[in-house]
Chains A and B, each alone.
Chain A
Amino acid sequence: MEEVDVDPTVTNIPGIRHGKHMGFAWGPGDILVYETQFKPSGSLLPDAGGAFIHKVRKDEDIYSPILRKLFNESHHIFVGLQTIKEDVPSKSKRHQFVSISRNYRSVIRACMEELQQVAVSTRDTEMATQYGNQVSILLAIELIWNLCEVLFIEAAPAGTLLLHLLDWVRLHRADVEEKAKDVLQSDSPAEHHNYWDVVVSYVLQGRLEEARQMLGKQASLQPASRDIYKLMDGLLSKMPFFNPAGTQTLTEFDVKWKNWHEEVDRCLSDNSFASNGHLELICKILVGDEDTLLEQKELLGTWYHFLVTRLLYCHPTVKPIELHYYAQSCLTMFLDSRSVQEPLDSILLAAFEFDIYLVIKDCSIVLNNWWFVAHLTDLLDHCKLLHSHNLNFGSNMREFLLREYASGLFTHHSLWQCAVDYFDHCPELGRACLELQIERVPLDTERKALKVLRICEERQMSEQVRSICKIMAMRALRNNRLGSALSWSIRAKDAAFATLISERFLQDYCAKGTFSDLDLIDNLGPAMLLSDRLTFLGKYREFHKLYGEKRYKEAAKLLLSLMTAKIAPRSFWMTLLTDSLPLLEQNEVIFSADQTYDLMYCLEELTSSLDPAAPGADRPMQEEDVEQTKVELLRLSLARNLSKAIVKEGTVDT
């Protein structure tokens, strides 16, 4: 047995009595659980368990109306990503991937903001907590995604790397902004109790321009210490930042930075700021003093902020491969008091170690749905960062995760349509999954059936098309809508079913003497050729039309050909022959002599096959009589017509 990564969580099912045995069945998104009575094998007593089946769902998120926006919007981005051409030069490709990654993040942010708003505005405390939880999950997701974007997708080299990490920290520590606003809006900002917190926070985030502006306010209040404020201002303004767009090389930058660092160090060692504790603290931060930084735990908040600040003031040219070393040490230094390492910490640490697989694995364990890992993995796979690493589930990781995510969506009443595109981009098993799922979409209206059919037809899933049309045809048949049923079976090119329905039409005709659904039967067109019976139905109706229009000759010819060409089923021949009676009885000769012979031949074939000796037993006498009279009447008419025809044809000849 494989090792279990984390202990599984225990969910108590309310309604199942304690100590009872449970049975369960897997579903694509849910598990069905029911109470059973465990019996040693052999004794099959009727189950006396509870009368309820419980549906247990791991992922509640797809039922959140706000998160649905995330699923829909990201679906759009996902589809866009799949269509990026392979032949684009890799540099512009990376640019595209970064922008797609940002699109995903902006969708997460939008969702988060909306959740935050409803969390604040809702009165229901339980809901508020739930929204709050979702916000914090999305926050964590966005934080991880952003870091992955910087490290893996952007793959910034030394120098630029730190700039990106700074942006990352600034974006996720936006609370400084709020505090600064408070301070600036107060009557005397410099005396606000948060004033120094804001200044120090700015310095910790490397936002030195803002820090200088803030300090300016204090300096103007303290003319006595103007000099040291000026000195600090100088230090802050002189700190070099790497400019990736400029011509400066990394070595040049390094030299410049070291000079600046020495200058700060000098200020510290000659006690320039000894008279002002706040400024001295800032100076110590600038010089990168670890103990001072650690004292600012409150303001730093997290170990990764500490990491970035430490890199900023000690190792601004850190290389990607060195990151993990600093990350690990910062984590240890920062956490020693708290000691507990949370899942988010280990995920970020794994990212700093460039262990993509561990990031994805840990996220899969912690998060309750596949949205994040599926989309991130897909994006990383497009960046060619994942090796074709086959899992023991028969496909690679990207496909596995996408499929899990899509299967989850497919269980949803409404989101199943989005899932289709995800299956499309799973080359190995996506189609098979889609085939299995699409057939099981409940079809309440024709409109929905048409949409499902379009999905199948676009993918040449003829088996599923057949099955869906058959479901719809059966539904129509049950509702006594023969016309609709026939339309559906024609669409599916389902000959057997078309035969069945044509049979029903003919039965109806025999019973009522009129056709129903003429608008359909008259307009069969080439669809008539789908099944023999349908052809017969169409042709037979054509005969009636011709007869109605008094085009007797054509009608007669058609009627005869229905029998001689064996289009009409034998059981229907008697009806057809009876239909010929009024034509035979017309004053004018309609059937020629040859045609009459053919008719006679048909009649004889029919009567001989009926075997006159046997049937008397199981047929009522009356019906037998009627049949017998019909045959005799036909024979008489045929004979009379034959004589007329011979006379007429003879006359024409002479």
Chain B
Amino acid sequence: MESATYVSQKISKTRWRPVSYSALQQPDIFATGSWDNEENKVSVWSIGDQGRSDLEDGFEGDPQLLCEYNHDGDVLDLQFLDQERFVTVSSTGAVTIFRHHQNSQTLSVTQQWAKAHRFPCNNAPSTGVACSTPEVVTVGEDGRIIVFRVDQEGVVRVIDNADSSTLHAVTYLRTTEVLTVNSIGQLKLWDLRQQSSSPSQILSLSGDRVPLYCVDRHPNQQHIVATGGQDGMLCVWDVRQGNMPFSLMEAHSAEMWEVHFHPTNPDHLFTCSEDGSLLHWETSSPSEMPSFLQGGRNSSMTSRSAMAPAGGNQSIVSAWLRGDSSKSRLETTHMLPTQTLSVNSLDVLGQCLVCGTDGEAIFINRQVPV
């Protein structure tokens, strides 16, 4: 990991601008959102060497700020729609689409749904957003799921009372199906074609009620999802099979804020947490199938305490799901030097990883071993 860039704002979200896969490019632009500041901002940064000639000995400099824009309220989630536009959701309940004008290096608001999430007589923070162009779906503390369509002023669909507690994150499983996680440890599947306002399936870790804060879908196998929550545990679920997680692994000592499969190499997974750590998980399995998918439900509960990565930079090898196949292995590596304040967000694309912290620092790694 390269050294920290201090940016004078607590970073709540970092996201790479998508690149076209055909060109095999590495990403060079990312967006960040801040939180808890008097004036919050969305900012766009470049890690390329645009217009910089003072690069010495191949050392690549700090990310350069390209442009920024004031954001009303904390940026609680941020997703790119395409190369130019990204969506943010705010603690004021607003959903905003920003456009990054690359010629003039400016940002502008192209669309905004103010107070999309709200309580009867108050704003409700919106907590998560997922995009499947042209559709955008958001969730919030008001327990609502709202579907928007880019370039359409109104709201396409609202599921009121989708949840009695707070919905913390949302992801698309396929174009018509989304998955939400809530603060009583449930995963709910919603078929957006159905008009009913109840989920098509509920999965939960029975008894524990541990709040879940993040979810990500396997890029190739859309029935596999990974979640993380208050206890810092990483859960991998197969939504087709039963309502129990496939495997459970101790990962962090505090809230897990984000989990991401590597988009093109899903044997790799990344998690970050309130405990100030960023973990790189790598499964190496001799078979075709990544070891996330091996093993059975019987061994899943026993693997719960199978491993606990210690601090420091050494990697820990553990035979994950040992009972089933001793050939598959799971390796975790700490990617940040010792840190004390929360790592709120990470994003990985190609060989590049970016993360942002409450210590007001951004870290970039341009050589993620994937």
Q: Which residues of A contact B (CB under 8 A)?
A: 65-66, 68-69, 72-73, 75-76, 79-80, 413-414, 417-418, 421, 444-448, 450-451, 454, 458, 478-484, 487, 490, 516-520, 523-527
Contacts and interface: CB of A to CB of B under 8 A. Distances in A.
A483 B4 CA distance: 41
Given A414-B36, A483-B143, A75 B359 contact: yes
Interface-centre pick from B163, B166, B207, B342 (highest chain A CB count, 10 A): B166
Nearest to A479: B119
A642 B4 CA distance: 79
A413 B207 contact: no
Contact of A523 (B91, B186, B358): B186
A487 B183 contact: yes
Nearest to A517: B164
A306 to B, nearest CB: 37
Nearest to B161: A516
A446 B360 contact: no
Given A75-B359, A481-B143, A525-B207, A69 B163 contact: no
Contacts of B124: 479
Nearest to A484: B165
A66 B360 CA distance: 12
23 contacts: A65-B8, A69-B8, A72-B6, A76-B359, A417-B358, A445-B127, A447-B74, A478-B122, A479-B121, A479-B142, A481-B141, A482-B164, A484-B143, A484-B165, A487-B165, A487-B184, A516-B164, A518-B164, A519-B164, A519-B188, A520-B165, A525-B207, A525-B209
A365 to B, nearest CB: 28
Contacts of B35: 447-448
Contact of B360 (A69, A80, A483, A526): A69
A118 to B, nearest CB: 12
Contact of A519 (B37, B163, B211, B274): B163
B358 A413 contact: no
B360 A451 contact: no
A417 B38 contact: no
A362 to B, nearest CB: 30
A472 to B, nearest CB: 10
A72 B183 contact: no
Given A68-B360, A447-B76, A414 B119 contact: no
A414 B74 contact: no
A384 B9 CA distance: 35
A79 B360 contact: no
Interface of B: 4, 6, 8-10, 35-38, 73-74, 76, 91, 119-122, 124-125, 127, 141-143, 161, 163-166, 182-186, 188, 202, 204, 206-209, 211, 230, 254-255, 274, 338-342, 358-361
Given A418-B341, A454-B274, A444 B165 contact: no
A483 B161 CA distance: 10
A185 B143 CA distance: 69
Nearest to A107: B6
Contacts of A69: 6, 8, 360
Contacts of B36: 413-414, 448
A479 B76 contact: no
Contacts of A451: 274, 342, 358
Contacts of A480: 119-120
B164 A483 contact: yes
Contacts of A444: 73-74, 91, 125
Nearest to A413: B38
B156 to A, nearest CB: 24
Contact of B91 (A413, A445, A520): A445
A72 B161 CA distance: 41
Nearest to A63: B38
B341 A417 contact: yes
A421 B125 contact: no
Nearest to A69: B6
A413 B165 CA distance: 28
A487 B358 CA distance: 26
Nearest to B121: A479
Given A445-B76, A483-B163, A519 B207 contact: no
A413 B6 contact: no
A72 B74 contact: no
Contacts of A478: 122
B141 A484 contact: yes
Contacts of A458: 254
Given A484-B165, A517-B164, A445 B9 contact: no
A79 B10 CA distance: 18
